Structure 1
């Protein structure tokens, strides 16, 4: 779950070396990414479902979850795997259903985390980008773009975006970690006409009977 909030969290050595070597500021990739960013800027708010998987063959890890997300500007509310993460742009609440506990922390966009509201603009700072290929998923055309961190000390070595050719929305993205783990997020039931109000992005403890509040600020 932490990986949704923090992208920093397949490491095949030859592939890693290849990814670093070919990374560039590809003008075709930049055109695709700019169009995606503009599409989400115009949408403003949306709701969608998504699936998430984490795979690491060497460690015999294969986990799958489904979740829901609502986004409005810099704010989001994410539900997945018995957890909720709520960010109002300044405060982050992380609710753990299993122990009925919520952790409260300040949101600091300068920490290097990439939130669900930033994935569409992440390429603008700290990444090289490269157009990879066109592909078809369920009869719909997508363009695949790789983002490679400029800083080789990052825990991950690549983010791969699958962007719809018609409306420039993001269908799927994969994060490739140096420890061999691959994280995949795939969007479904995308609703750009959703009515999303600001009160959705605040944790109301009265709705969680007996919840333990841990304030980390």
Structure 2
């Protein structure tokens, strides 16, 4: 969970003026933002890979799945299922057979992975890099730089690859300060599929839980 959330990093109160940003990058990101906000639901398959400073994979790639409907989301990663109905957040640890329940705060970057598709909107400076084919898609490459308390971030740059035709993010690379890289490849994205609200409520009947920690106020 922390690997994804460290990458989602958004939510801040400072928005930089347009003249402080690269206009070419801004135009690309504005198109992505407008299209993404028009989606009623998002269903995405993501492959996550970590590399060390020598560009060697430190572990096997992981297959993740995220489903988003407004402030509701369900995230499935190896060993963990996280479900949110917009008010309550359930985190199920399969190995520990433990469920943690918290109040959901959409402005808390440690809780809200559903912002991954629009994280660039606030708190980041951006610069257009180049055009390049990524995962078979002609893409615009844009670099993001944290502009709010960058010294507290574990990364210094985020590289986005955005499909020129679909105007969707196809890959994200987080360049870590220790020289490593975290790569998120979006292998498939389905939009506006039917998602019942019940999908975003954690049902204990479907999971083996020996311990339930309710941390709600």
TM-score band, normalised by the shorter chain? 0.7 to 0.9
- Verify the 8 A CA contact 2:143 2:158 in the aligned structure 1: yes
2:113 is paired with a residue whose SS is: coil
86, 90, 94: which one aligns with 1:93: 90
- Verify the 8 A CA contact 2:126 2:145 in the aligned structure 1: yes
How many corresponding residue pairs? 203
- Report runs of 4+ in structure 1 exceeding 3 Å deviation: 109-116
Q: Does 1:202 align with 2:201?
A: yes
Q: Does 1:42 align with 2:38?
A: yes
1:206 is paired with a residue whose SS is: helix
Question: Which residue of structure 2 aligns with residue 149 of structure 1?
Answer: 146
Deviation at 1:183, TM superposition (A): 1.2
Q: What's the RMSD between the two structures over aligned residues? A: 2.3
- Verify the 8 A CA contact 2:160 2:173 in the aligned structure 1: yes
TM-score after normalising by structure 1: 0.83
Unaligned runs of 5+ in 1: 10-23
CA distance in 2, matches of 1:141, 1:77: 30
CA distance in 1, matches of 2:191, 2:177: 34
CA distance in 1, matches of 2:193, 2:168: 15
Question: Which residue of structure 2 aligns with residue 74 of structure 1?
Answer: 71
Question: Which residue of structure 2 aligns with residue 83 of structure 1?
Answer: 80
Question: Which residue of structure 2 aligns with residue 192 of structure 1?
Answer: 191
1:186 is paired with a residue whose SS is: strand
TM-score after normalising by structure 2: 0.83
Deviation at 1:176, TM superposition (A): 1.8
Render the CA deviation track for 1:6-61: whole Å, top value 9, x for unaligned. Answer: 3278xxxxxxxxxxxxxx61011111111111111112202121100122247x86
Unaligned runs of 5+ in 2: 10-19
Question: Which residue of structure 1 aligns with residue 115 of structure 2?
Answer: 118
CA distance in 1, matches of 2:119, 2:144: 9
CA distance in 1, matches of 2:184, 2:102: 25
